[in-house]
Amino acid sequence: MTSQEKNQWRAPKLVGVGVYGADEKQIGKIDDLLLDKNGSAQTIVIGVGGFLGFGKKDVAVPFSAMQWRTEPRKTPATDQPTPMTSTSGQPPPPMKETDPAATEASQGYPDKAVLNVTLAELKAAPDFKYAPSPLDEAAAQPAGGGDQMKKTTP
């Protein structure tokens, strides 16, 4: 491969994309994207609630449950430079809509994610937990296979 295709997004750019419910109200933001070993997106981790990062909880949903949207942009339909002010006496140039897929490819991500749930339903979902580190688990185990050593006095 030598260039990005229109149907490809840049995974780091998805972090921070707003997640909206079916009612078009924002219910969270994408905090993380989990891939399988083949590179397929499996899970979206959404940060829900909180204020300035406090009180936020992470909720995970399948990548396939998310709908993605990008609105078309309007750009001048001519190659002529656009006047800086509308007082120039010239009519505004004709406008055309851009292809949303081309917009997504150039910015590297869609405008928003839509999930068919409400904010209350997402807040009620179980908290998502990342896999624990094996080093943390080993440190929590006492030496000697878990047997407690008895303290003796001479």
Q: What pLDDT score does 97 carry? A: 75
Q: Are 19 and 27 in contact, with CB atoms under 8 Å apart?
A: yes
For residues 54 and 145, the model is more confident at 54
Q: What pLDDT score does 84 carry? A: 56
Q: Tell me the pLDDT tens digit for each residue of 63-107.
A: 999 999 888 777 777 665 555 555 566 677 777 777 777 776 777
Please determine, for residue 10, whether its predicted confidence score (pLDDT) is greater than 90.
Answer: no
Alpha-carbon distance of 62 to 118, in angstroms, equals 16
Amino acid at position 104, single letter: E
Amino acid at position 123, single letter: K
The closest alpha carbon to 20, from 46, 53, 2, 50, belongs to 46
Q: What pLDDT score does 34 carry? A: 95
SS3 64: helix
Match 């009612």 to its residue by tokens: 23
* pTM of this structure: 0.70
Please determine, for residue 115, whether its predicted confidence score (pLDDT) is greater than 90.
Answer: yes
Q: For the domain 11-129, what is the CATH code?
A: 2.30.30.240
Mean pLDDT of 20-27: 91
What secondary structure, in 3-state letters, does 72-90 show? Answer: CCEEECCCCCCCCCHHHCC
Please determine, for residue 153, whether its predicted confidence score (pLDDT) is greater than 60.
Answer: no
Q: In what order do the strands lie in the sheet with 112-114?
A: 57-62, 41-48, 26-35, 18-20, 112-114, 67-69
Q: Tokens representing 142?
A: 């006492």
Q: What pLDDT score does 116 carry? A: 92
* Rg for the chain, CA atoms, rounded: 25
Alpha-carbon distance of 17 to 8, in angstroms, equals 16
